[in-house]
Structure 1
Amino acid sequence: MHVLIADDHELVRDTIAAFLEGDGIQVHTADDLGGALSLIRQKGPFDLVLLDFDMPGMNGLDGLSETIEVNGRNPVGILSGTASRTVAEEALEAGAAGFLPKTMAARSLRNAVRFMAAGETFAPVSFMAQKEDDPAHAFDELLTDREKQVFIGLTKAQSNKAIARDLDLQEVTVKLHVKTLSRKLNARNRTHAALIAKEAGFV
């Protein structure tokens, strides 16, 4: 996997690169949008590009749109240590493959990078929830008790049939709950839903 990280803070850029390289990912770096676009034209397209929202040249989300086009519409995600949830939502609506707060743990960052490179969309519930200081609150607000029970089964990698047996439900009912909770959490599939739960500390 080839990843490009563009961030004007050298320490942040090099730290993230080291995390990913330790996981066998090939990483290139740039310190502004212009440098990132040049690298994409020279060595790209990359499997994933990560752009710092606040670095020179970004001009809000204009830099995101340009990078998506130059990178052949391969995944492009946003990194930020200061952007608000509103900015994150706008980035996702503008086509970002994900939004990564710079406070993410190394393991979570590596998982998110692989997830986005695989074509999925990533945004941690702990950041996107209305009450960001209490990620579990997002699940209390969004999911019914039964959906939470089904969700726990998903985090254990159980099949719908196994979840149905444990909860004494019909398999078709479990399938409906999975579909509903995935929609509520903006999860693309069961794996994405389980990752969301992990990031929010639900399990």
Structure 2
Amino acid sequence: MRVLVADDHDLVRETIAAYLESEGGARASLAPSLTEALERVAAEGAFDLVLLDYNMPGMDGLRGLARMLEANAGRPVAILSGSGTQTLADEAVASGAAGFVPKTLSSRAMIAAARLMIEGQVFLPETLEQEEEAQRYGLSRRETEMLRGICAGKSNKEIARDHDIQEVTVKLHVRTLSRKLGARNRTHAAMIARDRGLI
């Protein structure tokens, strides 16, 4: 599969491309702006999938999506975002995007999302609404990850291994998120998270 990754952050662009090439068998082209992405399509022909950073130069909101959809000859174009909302994701899909892809997706999830969109399906992450809800309670992204681990019945040691952090760090996050949720212990935190739709 031929994928164009357009993002103005070098590290993000190169990391996503590396995921897709090393683990997904894709051939990735890179561009740091919408203008250069459009030039790539003009020079190399339509791509199987184009990933466009929502906030990069030239995008002008979803107008950039419309320009790329036209340029890429009806092939899938998706929005990449570092901090998207459910509303923005819905608007992007309603405007013709093949999906709304958080930059925080794991390599495996990123590849699965790319394949899904190339096959003609729409990709929307299940976690967006949950993340918005978690932010209402002041939970950080890391605290939300810890909470998911607790809800999955994992020990602090297992959660630490999953995220490549120290067990003491997990304990600290669990203590902080429990305080924010008003939870007495881990089990209570998991119950609150499920009741409020955080997980």
TM-score (norm 1): 0.64
C-alpha separation in 1, matches of 2:17 and 2:129: 25
C-alpha separation in 2, matches of 1:30 and 1:64: 15
1:21·1:27 contact (CA, 8 Å) conserved in 2? yes
- Cα drift, residue 128 of structure 1: 3.9
1:48·1:75 contact (CA, 8 Å) conserved in 2? yes
Whether 1:63 and 2:64 are equivalent positions in the alignment is yes
TM-score (norm 2): 0.65
Match of 1:88 in 2: 89
1:98·1:121 contact (CA, 8 Å) conserved in 2? yes
Match of 1:106 in 2: 107
- What is the aligned-residue identity percentage? 48
C-alpha separation in 1, matches of 2:133 and 2:124: 13
- In structure 2, the CA distance between the partners of 1:44 and 1:129, relative to structure 1 (3 Å rule), is farther
C-alpha separation in 2, matches of 1:30 and 1:130: 29
Cα deviations by residue, 1:30-78 (Å, 9 ceiling, x for unpaired): 0000000000011020000000000000000000001000000100000
- Cα drift, residue 129 of structure 1: 4.9
In structure 2, the residue corresponding to 1:90 is in which secondary structure?
helix
**Runs of 5+ unmatched residues, structure 1:** 136-201
Single out whichever of 81-90 and 115-124 deviates more from structure 2. 81-90
- Cα drift, residue 83 of structure 1: 2.6
Which amino acid in 2 is paired with 1:63? G
1:92·1:99 contact (CA, 8 Å) conserved in 2? yes
Cα deviations by residue, 1:109-166 (Å, 9 ceiling, x for unpaired): 000001001111000111145864389xxxxxxxxxxxxxxxxxxxxxxxxxxxxxxx
**Runs of 5+ unmatched residues, structure 2:** 135-143, 146-198
In structure 1, the residue corresponding to 2:14 is in which secondary structure?
helix
Residue correspondences, number: 136
